[in-house]
């Protein structure tokens, strides 16, 4: 039980960057309402579960957690329990019956009435407020981390056959360009050095806005913001990635040389059944163009193994594509049927679990070898690192290409060093290690 006078909150987040972004902002709203973060759920006055159901495994974790919280609520009925994220579907009554100890359920991306700030509670200047996303604009962190997520387009219109996200997050809704620009300028003023623009399909940004701005226009506007050093965006869709966007990444100095472009499978047949809307040849051409126009670009992708009907031949096409493309990073997942999706309704989940695991391991081993080779080339080089925290006594940060870097600061300064030049001494498939070469001043 919380013995302090200041009420405390605890947010448990699983899932994608969008969930992390929304949790950061929910936390900020709670802080503006007078709460402070609690080190554990046991001492919190309010607990928010920000959930994910993209695969069955994630959903199981959410359900377990919800059951585990029941005794806590029983012991402390005054505790407020709220659940948000993609676990929340349209059948709220059913959820309330299944989890009667939960006080509030609210949909991913919504701000419930009890979290909306009164005028006297806000520490956000009015100029950042615009009608489209007023609640979220108010939710900017007062002291942002060095790297901040900024949702720019909510929802997804793609309806890939396996994916539950469009059913839980609704249709695409872009935030106005001037609203995002004002918000990022405010974040930079408060000390943020990097923004990561988020969307399930971020390349679709702007198609629904009256001015028809696109992501390249948004990047150009943000590139002009003083104090901001880096801009990233994710997740791109191979069908919507345009030459204009690639040119913008090549041209704008603050936009990092890094693109996440999920391919999902190396087989045209499987891509068709997944309803991804592109062919491997289109994807290959895109990668060739990106690499030609943006030297040093770091590329990552997502893969699903064991999709319905994926034979050994289809799987080998995926392995061959990965060996050919040599991505910096590959996120691989075993197919998991999701209720309500086209694949779950129409296709038999016919690859056995053991076989999915075998395919997943093959890809992970191949990728560890490729990433090990790529990262080894950094040894002896000096890279610019944006520090985002400390881990096991070492500073931790990322390069412009999103490589994780660890280093010890010789001066052992307690403050976050910001941007630093690090000379890389060691590399593994997952991270780089080095020593400080010089401290950079400002954003140059």
Binding site for ligand SAH (CB under 6 A): 54-55, 162-163, 165, 200-201, 235, 237, 262, 264, 302, 304, 333, 335-336, 338
Closer by beta carbon to ligand SAH, 237 or else 403: 237
For ligand SF4, give the closer residue by CB, 234 or 419.
234
Of 41 and 303, CB closest to ligand SF4? 303
Q: Which is nearer to ligand SF4, 76 or 275 (CB)?
A: 275
User: How deeply is 18 buried, as exposed, middle or buried, from its count of CB atoms within 10 A (0-12, 13-18, 19+)?
Assistant: buried
- Report, in Å, the least distance between residue 222 CB and ligand SF4: 23
Look at residue 335 and give the partner it binds from ligand SF4, ligand SAH, none, a contact being a CB closer than 5 to 8 Å depending on partner kind.
Answer: ligand SAH
Strand partners, 196: 149, 232
DSSP 3-state percent helix, strand, coil across the chain (nearest 5): 35, 20, 40
Q: What does 304 bind: ligand SAH, ligand SF4, none (CB cut-off 5 to 8 Å by kind)?
A: ligand SAH
Under a CB-based contact definition with an 8 Å cutoff, are residues 335 and 160 in contact? no
Q: How far is the CB of 108 from ligand SAH (least distance, A)?
A: 13
Tokens of 435: 């020593």
The residue among 54 and 249 lying less far from ligand SAH, judged by its C-beta, is: 54
Contact positions vs ligand SF4 (CB under 6 A): 156, 158-160, 163, 165-166, 200-201, 237
Element (H, E) at 234: strand 230-234
| Contacted by 333, from ligand SAH, ligand SF4, none: CB < 5 to 8 Å by type | ligand SAH
Q: What pairing do the DSSP bridges indicate for beta strands 382-391 and 419-427?
A: antiparallel
Per partner kind, with CB cut-offs from 5 to 8 A, the member of ligand SAH, ligand SF4, none near residue 338 is ligand SAH
Residue 127 to residues 138, 185, 226, 242, Cα–Cα distance (Å): 10, 11, 17, 32
Residues 55 and 426: their CA atoms lie apart, in Å, by 35
Residues linked to residue 234 through DSSP beta bridges, in sequence order: 198
CA atoms within 13 A on the CB side of 415: 5
C-alpha to C-alpha distances, 354 to 77, 258, 357, nearest whole angstrom: 44, 34, 5
Shortest separation between residue 110's beta carbon and ligand SAH, angstroms: 20
Closer residue to ligand SAH in complex, CB, 53/180: 53
Q: Choose from ligand SF4, ligand SAH, none: what does 159 bind? Cβ within 5-8 Å by kind.
A: ligand SF4
149, containing H or E segment = strand 147-151
CB of 393 to ligand SF4, least distance (A): 38
Could you tell me the CA-to-CA distances from 298 to 43, 107, 278, 342 in Å, in that order? Answer: 42, 34, 22, 33
Minimum CB distance to ligand SF4, residue 327 (Å):
17
Produce one character per residue of 387-410: b if its CB has 16 or more CB atoms within 10 Å, e if not. Answer: bbeeeeeebbbbbbbbbbbbbebe
Contact of 151 with 198, CB cutoff 8 Å: yes
CB of 233 to ligand SAH, least distance (A): 12
Partner in contact with 70, chosen from ligand SAH, ligand SF4, none, beta carbon below 5 to 8 Å by kind: none
Q: From ligand SF4, ligand SAH, none, which one binds at residue 166 (CB under 5 to 8 Å depending on kind)? A: ligand SF4
User: Rounded to whole angstroms, how far apart are CA atoms 376 and 370?
Assistant: 10
- Closest separation between CB of residue 202 and ligand SAH, Å? 9
- Residue 138 vs 200, nearer CB to ligand SF4: 200
The sign of the dihedral angle between the CA atoms of 169, 171, 172, 175 is negative
Q: Which is nearer to ligand SAH, 138 or 265 (CB)?
A: 265
Partner from ligand SF4, ligand SAH, none binding residue 154, C-beta < 5-8 Å depending on class: none
Q: Is residue 29 within 8 Å of 117, Cβ to Cβ?
A: yes
Which option in ligand SF4, ligand SAH, none does residue 403 bind, with CB closer than 5 to 8 A by kind?
none
**Do you know the residue count of the chain?**
444
At its nearest, how many Å lie between ligand SAH and the CB of residue 163?
4
CB of 156 to ligand SF4, least distance (A): 3
Q: Give the β-pairing of 419-427 and 404-408.
A: unpaired
Of 26, 17, 13, 404, nearest to 233 (Cα)?
Answer: 17
* Closer to ligand SF4 by Cβ: residue 306 or 417: 306
DSSP H or E run through 20 = helix 17-32
Question: Which of ligand SAH, ligand SF4, none is residue 23 near (CB under 5 to 8 Å by kind)?
Answer: none
Of 103 and 349, the one with the shorter C-beta distance to ligand SF4 is 349
In the bound state with ligand SF4, the residue whose beta carbon lies nearer, of 104 and 159, is 159
Distance of closest approach, residue 244 Cβ to ligand SF4, in angstroms: 20
- Least distance (Å) from ligand SF4 to the CB of residue 1? 41
């Amino acid at each position: 039980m919380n013995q302090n006078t200041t009420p405390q909150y605890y947010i448990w987040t699983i899932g994608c960057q969008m969930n992390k972004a929304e949790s950061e902002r929910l936390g900020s709203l709670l802080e503006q309402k007078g709460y402070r973060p609690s080190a554990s759920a046991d001492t919190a006055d309010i607990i928010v579960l920000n959930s994910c159901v993209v695969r069955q495994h994630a959903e199981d974790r959410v359900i377990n957690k919800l059951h585990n919280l029941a005794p806590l609520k029983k012991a402390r009925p005054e505790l407020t329990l709220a659940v948000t994220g993609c676990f929340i579907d349209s059948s709220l009554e059913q959820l309330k019956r299944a989890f009667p100890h939960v006080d509030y359920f609210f949909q991913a991306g919504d701000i419930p009435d009890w979290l909306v700030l009164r005028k006297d509670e806000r520490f956000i200047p009015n100029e950042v407020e615009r009608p489209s996303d007023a609640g979220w604009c108010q939710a900017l962190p007062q002291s942002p981390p060095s790297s901040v997520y900024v949702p720019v387009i909510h929802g997804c219109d793609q309806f890939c056959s396996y994916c539950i996200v469009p059913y839980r997050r609704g249709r695409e809704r872009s935030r106005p360009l001037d609203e995002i620009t004002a918000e990022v300028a405010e974040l930079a003023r408060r000390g943020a050095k990097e923004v990561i623009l988020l969307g399930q399909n971020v390349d679709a940004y702007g198609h629904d806005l009256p001015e028809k701005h696109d992501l390249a226009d948004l990047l150009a506007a943000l590139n002009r913001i003083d104090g901001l050093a880096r801009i990233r965006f994710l997740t791109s869709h191979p069908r919507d990635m345009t030459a204009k966007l690639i040119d913008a990444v090549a041209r704008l100095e603050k936009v990092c040389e890094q693109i996440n472009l999920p391919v999902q499978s190396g087989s045209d047949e499987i891509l068709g059944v997944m309803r991804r809307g592109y062919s491997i040849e289109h994807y290959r051409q895109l990668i060739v163009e990106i690499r030609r126009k943006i030297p040093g670009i770091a590329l990552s992708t997502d893969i699903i193994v064991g999709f319905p009907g994926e034979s050994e031949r289809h799987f080998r096409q995926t392995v061959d594509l990965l060996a050919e493309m040599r991505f910096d990073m590959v996120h691989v997942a075993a197919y998991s049927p999701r209720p309500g999706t086209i694949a779950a309704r129409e296709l038999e989940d016919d690859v056995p679990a053991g076989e999915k695991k075998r395919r997943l391991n093959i890809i992970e081993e191949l990728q560890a070898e490729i990433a090990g080779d790529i990262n080894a080339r950094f040894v002896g080089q000096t890279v610019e690192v944006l520090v985002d925290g400390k881990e096991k006594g070492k500073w931790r940060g990322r390069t412009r290409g999103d490589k994780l870097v660890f280093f010890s600061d010789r001066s052992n300064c307690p403050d976050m060093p910001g941007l630093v030049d690090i000379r890389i001494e060691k590399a593994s498939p997952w991270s780089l290690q080095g020593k400080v070469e010089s401290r950079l001043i400002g954003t140059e």
